[in-house]
Amino acid sequence: MKIALINENSQAAKNEIIYTTLQKVVEPMGHEVFNYGMYTADDETQLTYVMCGLLSSILLETKAADFVVTGCGTGEGAMLAANAFPGVLCGHIVDPADAFLFAQINDGNSVSLPFAKGFGWGAELNLQYIFEKLFQGEKGQGYPVDRVEPQQRNKKILDEVKKVTHVDLLTILKNIDQEFLKTAVSGAKFKEYFFANCEESEITEYIKSIVE
């Protein structure tokens, strides 16, 4: 699995601890982590949480990533922004139980974590346990056992509903503020990671015209 990490500007200083913890947990499972930044609070490219939502959609829709880890101060704004775009099913994760239940019941492809609220002593341990529960085993198996069938059925219904309630990403990219889009895809490692992993599509071609 290709896992993308995206940090917005208010919590960019914590990128290294998040990235290191994520790598430590998932690489032994056979997953690969791509750190799209922000890397420090002083990065030239300043990503807002809304830009993180757009970038999440771009990565997932082009299959440049299979899963996105993002967040903000509370995790709420980044979660709302991510779910505003097509192809993203993002959960708000505070603790390991949230991570396990989201993975097994909701079977989403993105999570948003609070990197300021409650991020104190032992924060790296909480991150570690969250990532362990989030990525262990096969997702979408349901919990508890007697609720598996309706949970899996409702997940499929939600996926179909989201296809109807969102316009396609290419239309969004063409109509959204172009400076906003350019900033979202101008991170230091974006071109290196994105074009090496995305699948060829109209979305990819449009992104090329933006970043070149």
Q: Per-residue pLDDT for the chain (212 aa), expressed as one digit of tens each?
A: 999 999 999 999 999 999 999 999 999 999 999 999 999 999 999 999 999 999 999 999 999 999 999 999 999 999 999 999 999 999 999 999 999 999 999 999 999 999 999 999 999 999 999 999 999 999 999 999 899 999 999 999 999 999 999 999 999 999 999 999 999 999 999 999 999 999 999 999 999 999 98
The tally of domains found in the chain comes to: 1
Residues near 63 by beta carbon (within 8 Å), at least 6 away in sequence: 197, 198, 199
Edge to edge, what strands does the sheet with 67-72 contain? 32-35, 2-5, 67-72, 110-114, 90-92
CATH number at residue 29: 3.40.1400.10
Cα distance between residue 171 and residue 203, in whole Å: 9
State residue 145's pLDDT score.
87
* Residues 57/82, Cβ–Cβ less than 8 Å: yes
Q: What is the C-alpha end-to-end distance of the chain, expressed in Å? A: 28
Q: Write the DSSP string, 168-187.
A: -HHHHHHHS-HHHHHHHT--
pLDDT of residue 117: 96
Identify the domain containing residue 192 by its residue range: 2-211
- pTM, two decimals, is 0.96
Amino acid symbol at 193: Y
Encoded tokens for 54: 């757009």
Say if CB 76 and CB 118 are below 8 A apart.
Answer: no
Residue 179's alpha-carbon distances to 37, 60, 81, 204, in angstroms, are 19, 21, 18, 18
- Whose tokens are 């139980």? That residue is 97
**SS3 state of residue 4:** strand
